[in-house]
Amino acid sequence: MKKIKFAFSVGEESGDFLGAQLINNLKKKYPDASFVGLAGNLMQKEGMESLFPINDLSVMGLIDPLINLNRLLRRRKQLVDFILEEQPEFFIGIDSPSFNAGIAKRIKSKTNTKTIQYVCPQFWAWRKGRVKRFKKYLDHIYSIFPFEEKLLENENMSSNFTGHPLAEHFEIDINKEKFKTKLSFNNKKIYIALLPGSRKSELKNHLKILEEVANSYYFKNPNYHFIVSLTEENSLSENSYLKKENISLIKGNTREVLKACDYAIVSSGTATLEAMLSKTPFCVIYKSNPISNFLITNILLQLDYISLPNILANKKIVPELRQGDLKINKVIEELDYLIDNSNELMIQEFKALHQSLINENDNKFSKIIDKLSS
């Protein structure tokens, strides 16, 4: 079999996880394959070198990318030039659809490289018309949500549902006591995970509010302990901002923190899916640049919800506090409600959604590679 070269482009940590799982899967079918391009730490552990650090691309919303546009365009040109020089058989852009679309278009216009987008651009959430353009620069889409495959089929776009890799890394029934023991938690306390996000803007908008929420329980509920969960790469230290004894910091272990905690407050994003898969009752928070929020909410966004569990269920399963509603007293109110009431229906919804995200077919990636190679 001919040795296949794959080029990747991944722009953030959630995509890095997907990329690592994909490389691991592809190596089983194509043991002589090589992998080049842009990768995060997990992908590099699978044997791939990265052209430059992915945190160079870590911006979000509408305004932050504009402020950093020159740097983003310079890095994208560097990656495109590298891929054109490498002449891979396949280019796979992982998530970050706006960044990767420009790369796929350039590659498609200059080479015979097959282009795949892993994680369908969320055209169903905003800018629905762009789905009609996918076929111009993409040969295939790996979709991670089950409803996307039908939507893409309606547009005659080649795609297949691969399942969400995160779903395969969580048990349907979580033994929280086991994970409490693993993290040396006190079984007499109630643990609440605080996930402010990983980007600088998310930390700026969320961290102070979450700290104040934890502080408000310091005297009235000494049995509650709050765990701030951050990525390993985050430079913040416990001594720099955690002032009370009822707050601890754990880095680089978000999934086990969520599995061990009884409740959570989570910034919108992939972490909401991790909280759902952990079967942890939680509240979603999100605050962004006011201009970005106005444009997204009033012009671009075509959904009623921002968190993945609510989007997948197409109904409200978990509470969401967005922008002006994100206030300390409202977060406390939602958290108290979760703690004081049964969450059995929420947990059952979590389990059903978890099942819907699993695809155990080992050929879900390679069958498309074989098809496009023929």
Buried b (16+ CB within 10 A) or exposed e, 335-354: beebeeeebeebbebbeebb
Considering the domain boundaries, does residue 206 fall inside one? Answer: yes
CATH number reported for the structural domain that contains residue 182 in this entry: 3.40.50.2000
Q: Which tokens in the block code for residue 213?
A: 């929420």
C-alpha closest to that of 84 among 115, 119, 39: 115
Q: Say whether both 228 and 87 belong to one domain.
A: no
Buried b (16+ CB within 10 A) or exposed e, 109-145: eeeebbbbbbbbbbbbeeeeeebeebeebbbbbbbbb
Q: Rounded to whole angstroms, what are the CA distances from 55 to 66, 97, 308?
A: 16, 16, 23
Give the number of other Cβ atoms within 10 Å of residue 191's Cβ. Answer: 23
Q: What is the pLDDT along the chain (374 residues), one digit of tens a residue?
A: 568 999 999 978 778 989 999 999 999 999 999 999 999 899 999 999 998 877 766 544 444 554 456 777 888 899 999 999 999 999 999 988 888 999 999 999 999 999 999 999 888 766 677 788 999 999 999 999 998 988 899 999 999 999 998 998 899 999 999 999 999 999 899 999 999 987 777 888 889 999 999 999 998 899 999 999 988 767 676 655 566 789 999 998 999 999 999 999 999 888 999 999 999 999 999 987 655 554 455 444 556 888 999 999 989 999 999 888 999 999 999 999 999 999 999 999 999 999 999 998 889 999 999 999 98
C-alpha closest to that of 200 among 176, 228, 235: 235
Q: Which tokens in the block code for residue 187?
A: 């079984």
Outline where DSSP puts E strands in the chain: 5-10, 34-37, 90-94, 114-118, 140-143, 159-161, 190-195, 224-230, 247-251, 263-267, 282-286, 320-322
Give the Cα separation of 116 and 202 in Å (integer). Answer: 30
Q: What is the pLDDT of residue 264?
A: 98
Q: Say whether both 230 and 155 belong to one domain.
A: no
C-alpha closest to that of 144 among 128, 129, 130, 160: 160
Q: What is the pLDDT of residue 197?
A: 87
Q: What is the pLDDT of residue 300?
A: 44
> What residue numbers bound the domain in which 145 lies?
5-163+359-373
Give the Cα separation of 64 and 102 in Å (integer). Answer: 18
Q: What is the pLDDT of residue 269?
A: 85
Domains identified in the chain, total number: 2
Give the Cα separation of 71 and 184 in Å (integer). Answer: 43
Considering the domain boundaries, does residue 170 fall inside one? Answer: no
Q: Say whether both 348 and 369 belong to one domain.
A: no
Give the Cα separation of 33 and 27 in Å (integer). Answer: 7
Q: Say whether both 45 and 140 belong to one domain.
A: yes
Q: Say whether both 98 and 122 belong to one domain.
A: yes
Q: What is the pLDDT of residue 298?
A: 46
Dihedral pair phi/psi, residue 265, rounded to 5°: -120, 120
Residue 7: strand, helix, or coil: strand
Q: Say whether both 230 and 277 belong to one domain.
A: yes
Q: Say whether both 193 and 284 belong to one domain.
A: yes
Considering the domain boundaries, does residue 169 fall inside one? Answer: no
**Letter for the amino acid at 22?**
L
CATH number reported for the structural domain that contains residue 33 in this entry: 3.40.50.11930
Q: Say whether both 145 and 278 belong to one domain.
A: no
Q: What is the pLDDT of residue 299?
A: 44
Sign of the CA dihedral 99, 105, 110, 112? positive
Considering the domain boundaries, does residue 171 fall inside one? Answer: no
Considering the domain boundaries, does residue 219 fall inside one? Answer: yes
Q: State how far Cα 185 lies from the chain centre.
A: 27
DSSP secondary structure, 164-192, as one string: -GGGGGS-SS--HHHHHHHTT--TTSEEE
Q: Say whether both 258 and 202 belong to one domain.
A: yes
Q: Say whether both 242 and 334 belong to one domain.
A: yes
Q: pTM of the entire structure?
A: 0.81
Q: What is the pLDDT of residue 309?
A: 96
Considering the domain boundaries, does residue 168 fall inside one? Answer: no
Q: Say whether both 219 and 343 belong to one domain.
A: yes
Q: Say whether both 158 and 190 belong to one domain.
A: no
